[in-house]
Structure 1
Amino acid sequence: MKKLLLTYLLFLGTLLSAQITLGSGTTSGGVSTSVATVPWSTYYGYSYAQQILLKTDINAAGAGNITGLRFFLGASASLSNSNDVVVYLGQTTKTSFSSTTDWVPTSAMTQVYSGTVTNNAGVVEITLTAPFAYDNVNNLVIAIDENKAGDDGGELFYTYTSGTNKTLYYRSDTTNPNPASITQTGTRSATQSVVTLLGLAPNPVPACPAVTAPTAAATGVSVLPTITWNAVSGATGYRLSVGTTSGGTDVLNNVDLGNVTTYTLASSLQFNTQYYYTLSSYNGAIPSVACSERSFTTSNITCPAVTAPAAAAVGLSVTPTITWTASPGATGYKISVGTTAGGTNVLNNVDLGNVTSYTFASALMNSTKYYYTVNSYSALATSSGCTERNFTTICTPVASFSENFDTVTAGTWPNCWAKVGANGSAYTQASTVMSAPNNMYIYTTTASTPAVVSMPPVSTLQLGTYRLKFKMRGNFTAGDKIDVGYLTDPADASTFVSFGSTYTANSITAIDNYTINNITAPAGVTTMAFKHIGPSGYSILIDDVVYELMPSCIEPSAVTVSAIGANNATVSWTAPLSAPGNGYEFYYSTTNTAPTASTTASGTSSTTSAPLSGLTSSTTYYVWVRSVCSTSDKSVWTAMATFTTACNAVNIPYTLNFDGVTTPALPVCTSAVNLGTGNIWNTSTATGFTGNVLNYTYNSSNAANTWFFTQGINLTAGVSYRIKYKYSNATGTTQYPEKMKVSYGSSATAAGMNNLLKDYPVITGGVITNDFVDFTPASTGVYYFGFNAYSAANMNRIYVDDINIDVTPTCFEPTALVSSNITASSANVAWTAPAPAPGNGYEIYYSTTNTAPTGTTAPTITGITGTSQALSNLSPVSTYYVWVRSKCSANEVSSWSSNFVSFSTPCAAAVPTYTNDFASTAGSCTSNVSGGSPTGGAATGTTAYWVQSNWLNTPSANTGTGSMKMNLYSVNRAGWLKLAPLNLSAGGYKVKFDYAVTTYSGTAASAMGSDDVVQFVVSQDGGNTWTILQTWNAANAPSNTSNTFSLDLTGYTGANTIFAFYGNDGTVDDTEDYNFYIDNFVVELSNILSASDVKVNANNGIKLYPNPFSEVLNISDASNVKNVLVTDFSGRLVKTIANPGKELHLGELKQGMYLVTLEMKDGSKQTIKAIKK
């Protein structure tokens, strides 16, 4: 009885308190911009938020009046800039917001408060102006609009996580939304504000708690899971039941958790097991009713972490040990081992017990890769998806080996080769710089972390009768070193012991051949290794590694070639440790096919050198040498040495344009040297030059000091010569001053360049300059010309081209060629006369290709007496290149001008009919430019605002062809579509075309912007001045269906008439976004003759052909024709022919349209329009 009384008193107290609180905690958003803004934003200037509170979450005792709202925040938080609010309440059947614009309209809610609010010790209480009647049937909507500009430094209100998409909010520092007609897109959220509803009595039976974690039917949950939930209004505590079957309580049986909102199980659950649980609430002695059961599945037992051997380890013992770290909860481990991925042919899921290591009881096979997987297990679970690893056992030692890395896929090692340890990097790579297709790459960052590569184990290291040979070169930079030795533990790089010598990569082009003779190692050692010891951190390439029994006759080494001339050279070598008794043989060839044992030698030598004679100049040779120990015992041939014979000197004229090479190579018989730490001359292409050029590219850290040398040239003492060349620095907005000298001397060396021709201490502007220098050598001989780049560090580029050396001319070329007065068929060219001026005038050569004429090229025009010339009979729409030369006498002419002048002829004006349907292009001779206007300002821009498109966006928007359109949306766009020039001199034409407007991406109609304009304009002087024929704007915007414009062109008779469409979006940023289309543009003869003007005897059926015609117009039947009257379109009779024959000869007529009247013998007339082309 006392219990019942106590319960009643509690219930009565709850009714008297008449308030319901949803949510708990002190979580707030702070300065995060990703959290929900509820009940309104204190971090943005303006906000509007709506929250849906579910009836089941409110859990009221019944219908009632809400008299106020309380929201919660920090006790000292300031709302001085976020305290102007309007509050709405409403009821809804919605359980969430379906989209980001699914606002509940204010018409479906009641405004219950408008004014300012304050923070009273952590509580913002809003007393409603009138109670709001809540029916306890629907869900409740709280909407709050905050209108005070400014913010309070962060989101201050306390929130909690509720159901998905129960909140919809919008916030902005600049835009204050209007709840009555809100157009803004909001953001949905599961975050809601902690709120107290004043005036509502809570249901004494508490609601079921809403679980927030784990999610329903979650998987992979920890075996010590934590369950969390939202606080239930009126609840004083919570109880939890957990079982392994639905409804089961074998884990927890209605355990009282107290008044908390989270619980972590104290004892570990089973792995990979589904558990069922029910969370309920209670209010004193009153429990919640029918709370839903949920479930989760625990994670599987974890895979053990293998600690040894390392992943993909090589060189392991045939009885290796595998170790791992214990998995939590595991009671044992199983292992599978096979010789293929996924294989179990060695061990098949063998149970090892609860251990953390395993040593193979039976020896594995040598040189074999094994795949293995270790799994953990417990009584109820076995790990899954554990990573399969592999290792390779030590190789079976061999007596010798040879490896060129060519039989493996780049990136993989040959069998029994391996990178040892983690330092540096090493791998096989595809390459042709040594012996194609592969070689070995090895790289060490610093000498303290050397990369090590082990070789296959051998059984002969202790004999002292074997040797190791290998090829090596630097990769990108020379100078780093390789040490060769052995590993006492093939799997441990730290056990490396050197054989005693290091080997340097001396070049990045020449290949070093190294041999280590009489190798010995301590007993038990089987494995040799390469060790990259730095010290500079440059990568090295190694190839063709051979370990072999030393032959009885050993080949020489270090073959070099010196004293290289045009027809001779000297080959030298180093004798082997045991010099051969019968000297040496050498073999050379112009092909790099190595000689065999049976190849006949080119010569013999009893010393360590031999002269080579009778060679061909400028030719690459290959040389091999071998020892001759006896008539029956000869060594193998050495590695190949190569050299190129020098070039013979040439006579003038000498021309070099760099076009015959593949960049960056230099032309044959030229050379370049780098005397500094910058870069070296090479070849490239360059803006403004034709073909290749000599190029110096800057070094960001070091100044330039590189020389380029020409081939040797025969010059005679006392004769004046001229060297001509072009040069420039790189183009670009930022100009970097470059430096260059031009010299000549008796050898292709920097020291030999003792005659300075020209110094350019500042080359700038990015302009190609033609220059020349005249000089006279003091003695007869062979001379070389050098170009020395000496720019400062971090500049840009220097270009040189078209080097020419010849006798100084006495007849000088003109300069400064210009063109003017360019029409479709003519142009004027002018130039500046040289000093002295030529006695016999000038000659011109022009072409539509930019291939410069030579001295033997026939001029196009001769006998020019002045410094200008008109060019006629040119083709329209063609680019012409023009050169000029002086003619000093009947037998002496200058070189052609160093620079040509070029120009392009425009389109020729066509005689209509002219039709452009824009089917595939805008049409020939059209132009698409921007800027300016028809009444002032030339169109100088190159942006094409008129583009091809489907007509009226059909079948797809803003794609396809078939019409031209301009999109008008962005301000300050001015676009022109200029059509082909026309010759309207005959008169009597009309123009017509189709036009329309649609929205940008659809087919609907659209208005035009307030200051937008599209105009149809005409120019009768080739585009210099324009007349507006039609204007479309906001007052007369076209429809979205096809409209036809037609205009009689009476009075428009210009011989170079251009029609154009001009569109301008103006300066006002209107909202209209639309396309203006044009299509089917036609200029044709006007049909201005009425029935009374022309009487046609249909019975005669006489035709005139061809029509249009050029010279002769034929009458299909002239037998009944008495007279022919030819009238121009102005009505003037221009020709009468009596008793005509079949052919009417009208070649004297001007081009245009005519009316040809046939007066018949029976008195009838027939008039036919005809066009003279």
Structure 2
Amino acid sequence: MKKTLLLLLTFVGVNAFAQNTCATAVNITTNGDYVTGTVSGTFPTGQTGLCWATSGSTPNALWYTFTPPTNGIVTISSAIAANPGGTTGIDTRLHFLTGSCGGPWTCVDSNDDITPGSDYRSALVDVPVTSGTTYYILWDNRWDDTAFTFNLTFTGASCFAPPLFYLPDYLSTTSADLYWDQSTPVPATYDVDWSNNFATPAGSGTIVSASAGALAYSTANISGATASSNFRYYVRANCNPELSAWAGPYYGYLPVTLPYSNDFEDASKNYTDGFVNFSLITTNGTSTPPNYADGGAGTAMYTFNSTTAASNARAYFRGMNLTAGEQVTVEFKTRLFAFAPDVPEPISFNLTVGDSQSTAGQATVVQTYTNTSAAAYTTHTATFTAPTSGIYYFGIHNNTPQATVETFLFLDSINLTTNLSSADNSLTGFSVYPNPVTTSLVISNPNNFEVKNISITDVNGRMVKNQQGALTQINVSDLNAGVYFVTIEASEGKTTKKFIKQ
């Protein structure tokens, strides 16, 4: 990326303690390290637009401002050598805002943990900023109020990475569409780099070019990934000849076939393994709360109630690739917690299911629950039968009434099983790509079943193609644009997949 350094790194280790209020925030004018005092300033409780609405039990904050002299990118980080890392070091939380003292605010970006579950320091990297705009840097005491050091680095630029990314749309067990908001200015194209190996550096994976288009967002398709795998991806703007910084890594979790389990303990799967929207917590014998993962010290997910309104928080499992009539047994565990001396209040929630990781997509309530136990984990079980073949997402909807005591619900040990035999279930491993497709539709057969016949029908149920034999691809270039269904018949049974012909 072509860059011009506008601020010199001349003041390292600056003692610039933030003042107690937004109005007396310390103005940062130079790249460097800034040593804070104890997090003891005023948190803007009750103001709208913050990245997080609450800080600690005694709301406190540290305030700084920064006004870039030109357009560019800024990095703000407490993940530096001056601060101890891991789960026993400092535990910071960062808001990056625009607005004015008294609110309302706009959350530009935020970060709690640079690596959820293993490093509690915070960092915002290469955030686009606009010349002359005053940005507020707010550190709160949600988890820790000890003094620390952070670094701010500003670099001038005119080509910017996309500012906001959305959850991928998973088309099959091997393909997904990625979405992000357009950069400003909008480039002609974007470079997308994806890999099934999380450790692959940006620019070293499979590169896909995506056009910006005329919409407020842009999209790129990933196809041919390892079935039911996880992948990481980066995106940068290609302004030709200037290139933006890479935005990312972001992560995708392709739909899986059953059985499936997740105890949130696998670092190679980012602990969450595609479970989204609730927060990750790691506990041990000396943390608060202690040992609140199922089975002792470890990692779990959590949500909490609200003391000002009814809760409406949703989280979603990764996608499950199910066949028509497949019965799924869902099992998971929850436990309550409140900071002493408070007594936990009940948390109410639903297990839901639908066709997307969104409120609108969660059309079915499978079962309702109320957890009242803080003494131990409670096991919850429910069953669901898939009415048609496709990708389904189970969700947890925290809909607890307004409370008087802030209470946390910890969730752990997800386990999903199926009534299908191993052979029946393996049939869902078939996938088709690319999707959408223009010429040839590839049939992925990871279990090497003997394919006897492949047929394609349109949305009206009319068969438009029928071919026998162990095909690996089928020509669809002669089909009209639209939605189609391909049925793959094997010795062990048959399965149907949906695809879009462009």
Instruction: Give the TM-score normalised by structure 1.
Output: 0.24
Tell me the amino acid that sits aligned with residue 94 of structure 2: F
SS in 2 for 1:753: coil
Q: SS of the residue aligned with 2:74?
A: strand
- Identify the residue that residue 737 of structure 1 maps to in structure 2: 346
Rounded Cα–Cα distance in structure 2 between residues aligned with 1:512 and 1:788: 32
Distance 2:182 2:5 in 1: 27
The count of aligned residue pairs is 325
| C-alpha distance after superposition, 1:976-1029 (max 9, x if no partner) | xxxxxxxxxxxxxxxxxxxxxxxxxxxxxxxxxxxxxxxxxxxxxxxxxxxxxx
Q: How many Å apart are 1:408 and its aligned residue?
A: 4.2
Matched, 1:656 2:271: no
Quick one: which amino acid aligns to residue 316 of structure 2?
F
> Which residue of structure 2 aligns with residue 710 of structure 1?
317
Find the counterpart in structure 2 of residue 802 from structure 1: 413
Query: How far did residue 563 of structure 1 move?
Result: 7.9
Aligned-residue offset at 1:754 = 2.6
Q: What does 1:524-563 align with in structure 2 at a 5 Å threshold? A: 531=134, 538=138, 543-546=152-155, 555=159, 558=162
Q: CA RMSD in A?
A: 5.1
Tell me whether 1:784 sits opposite 2:393 in the alignment: yes
Q: Distance in 2 between matches of 1:587 and 1:726?
A: 38
**Residues 694/531 of structure 1: CA separation in 2 closer, same or farther (3 Å cut):** closer
Q: After TM superposition, give the deviation of residue 712 of structure 1 in Å.
A: 1.2
SS in 1 for 2:24: coil
| AA matched with 2:327 | S
1:507 equivalenced with 2:109 (yes/no): yes
Q: Specify whether residues 729 and 692 from structure 1 end up closer, same or farther in structure 2 by C-alpha distance, changes over 3 A only.
A: same
Change (3 A) 1:681 1:605: closer
Contact map agreement 1:651 1:713 (CA 8 A) in 2: yes
Q: Structure 1: 5+ residue runs without aligned partners? A: 1-399, 414-421, 430-434, 456-465, 484-502, 517-528, 549-553, 629-633, 674-679, 811-1173
Larger Rg: 1
**Alpha-carbon separation, structure 1, partners of 2:245 and 2:350:** 42
CA contact (8 A) 1:424 1:445 kept: no
Contact 1:588-1:621 within 8 A present in 2 as well: yes
Change (3 A) 1:662 1:809: closer
1:756 — aligned with what? 365
Cα distance, 1:686 vs structure 2: 1.3
Measure how far apart 1:718 and its partner are: 2.8
Q: Secondary structure at the match of 1:409?
A: strand
Tell me the residue number matched to 1:911.
Answer: none
- Return the offset for 1:655: 1.5
State how far apart, in whole Å, the 1-side matches of 2:251 and 2:281 are: 21
- Other-structure match for 1:686: 292
Q: SS in structure 2 opposite 1:506?
A: strand
In the other structure, the counterpart of 1:623 is 235
Closer/same/farther in 2, CA of residues 439 and 650 from structure 1, 3 Å limit: farther
> What residue identity is the alignment partner of 2:272?
P
Q: Which amino acid aligns with 1:726?
A: K
String of CA shifts for 1:677-720, please: whole Å, max 9, x gaps. xxx57565417734433333455555533222212112233343
Aligned pairs (5 A) from 1:1051-1130: none
Closer, same or farther in 2 for the Cα pair 1:468/1:695, shift >3 Å?
Answer: closer
Q: Distance in 2 between matches of 1:722 and 1:601?
A: 39
Q: For the Cα contact (< 8 Å) 1:556–1:638, is it kept in 2?
A: yes
Q: Are 2:94 and 1:476 equivalent residues in the alignment? A: yes
Residues 538 and 512 from structure 1, CA distance in 2 versus in 1: closer, same or farther, beyond 3 angstroms?
same
Partner of 1:769: 378
Shift of 1:740: 2.3
Given that 1:587 and 1:602 are in contact with CA atoms closer than 8 Å, whether structure 2 keeps it comes out as yes
Find 2:247's aligned residue among 641, 645, 657. Answer: 641
Relative to structure 1, the CA distance from residue 639 to residue 711 in structure 2 (aligned partners, 3 Å threshold; closer, same or farther) is same
- Indicate if the aligned counterparts of 1:709 and 1:784 stay in contact, CA closer than 8 A: yes
1:592/1:622 contact within 8 Å kept = no
Tell me if structure 2 keeps the 8 A contact 1:404–1:438.
Answer: no
Counterpart Cα distance in 2 of 1:610 and 1:764:
44
1:746 paired residue number: 355
| Distance in structure 2 (CA, Å) of the matches to 1:454 and 1:515 | 8
1:668 aligned residue: 273
Distance 2:382 2:243 in 1: 53
Aligned AA for 1:667? T
Q: What is the one-letter code of the residue matched to 2:98?
A: D
Identity %: 15
Kindly provide the CA deviation profile for residues 183-222 of structure 1, in whole angstroms up to 9, marking residues without a partner as x.
xxxxxxxxxxxxxxxxxxxxxxxxxxxxxxxxxxxxxxxx
Q: CA deviation at 1:508?
A: 0.4
Contact 1:695 1:799 in 2 (8 A): yes
Within 2, Cα distance between the matches of 1:470 and 1:655? 40
| Alpha-carbon distance in structure 2 between the residues aligned to 1:638 and 1:707 | 34
Matches of 1:409 and 1:707 in 2, distance apart? 43
Cα distance in 1 for residues equivalent to 2:379 and 2:367:
13
Pick one of 299, 303, 311 that aligns with 1:696: 303
1:403 and 2:18 are equivalent in the alignment? no
Give 5+ residue unaligned stretches, structure 2.
17-22, 48-62, 78-92, 112-123, 141-149, 170-174, 284-290, 422-502
- Give me the whole-angstrom Cα distance separating, in 1, the residues matched to 2:106 and 2:350: 36
**Residue 388 of structure 2 aligns to a residue in which SS?**
coil
Which residue in 2 is equivalent to 1:676? none
Q: 1-side partners of 2:265 and 2:213: how far apart?
A: 45
Which of 328, 331, 341 is 1:721 aligned to?
328
- With over 3 angstroms needed to count, the CA separation of the structure-2 counterparts of 1:404 and 1:796, relative to structure 1, is farther
| SS of alignment partner, residue 672 of structure 1 | coil
Change (3 A) 1:560 1:741: closer
Give 1:424's aligned amino acid: A
CA distance in structure 2 between the aligned counterparts of 1:445 and 1:425, rounded to whole angstroms? 15
User: Contact 2:192–2:209 (CA<8 Å) still a contact in 1?
Assistant: yes
Cα 1:686/1:410, change in 2 over 3 Å: same
Shift of 1:668: 1.8
Output the CA distance in 1 between the equivalents of 2:351 and 2:184: 45
2:438 alignment partner in structure 1: none
User: What is the rounded CA distance, in whole Å, between the counterparts of 1:614 and 1:697 in structure 2?
Assistant: 37
Measure the CA separation in 2 of the matches of 1:692 and 1:601. Answer: 34
Distance in 2, Cα, partners of 1:771 & 1:698: 19
Change beyond 3 A, Cα 1:662–1:606: closer
Counting only pairs closer than 5 Å after superposition, residues 31-110 of structure 1 correspond to structure 2 as none
Residues of 2 paired with 1:747 and 1:402: CA distance?
44
User: Structure 1: how far apart are the matches of 2:192 and 2:371?
Assistant: 52
Deviations along 1:217-276, one digit per CA (max 9) or x if unpaired, are xxxxxxxxxxxxxxxxxxxxxxxxxxxxxxxxxxxxxxxxxxxxxxxxxxxxxxxxxxxx
CA spacing shift, 1:426–1:644, aligned 2, 3 Å: same
Distance 2:212 2:301 in 1: 46
Whether the 8 Å CA contact 2:333–2:414 is kept in 1: the answer is yes
Give the Cα–Cα distance (whole angstroms) in 1 for the partners of residues 337 and 190 of structure 2: 54
Aligned equivalents of 1:686 and 1:587: distance in 2?
39
- 2:453 — aligned with what? none
Task: Pick from 170, 191, 195 the counterpart of residue 586 of structure 1.
Answer: 191
Contact 1:404 1:545 in 2 (8 A): no
**TM-score where L is the length of structure 2:** 0.50
Task: State whether residues 585 and 601 of structure 1, in contact with CA within 8 Å, keep that contact through their aligned partners in structure 2.
Answer: no
Letter in 2 for 1:507: D
Give the conservation status (yes or no) of the 8 Å contact 1:620–1:645.
yes
Cα gap change, 1:763 to 1:480, in 2 (>3 Å): same
Distance change >3 Å, CA 757–CA 542, structure 1 → 2: same
Note if contact 1:659-1:692 (Cα within 8 Å) is conserved in structure 2: yes
Q: State the distance in 1 between where 2:210 and 2:406 align.
A: 54
Structure 2 residue identity aligned to 1:689: G
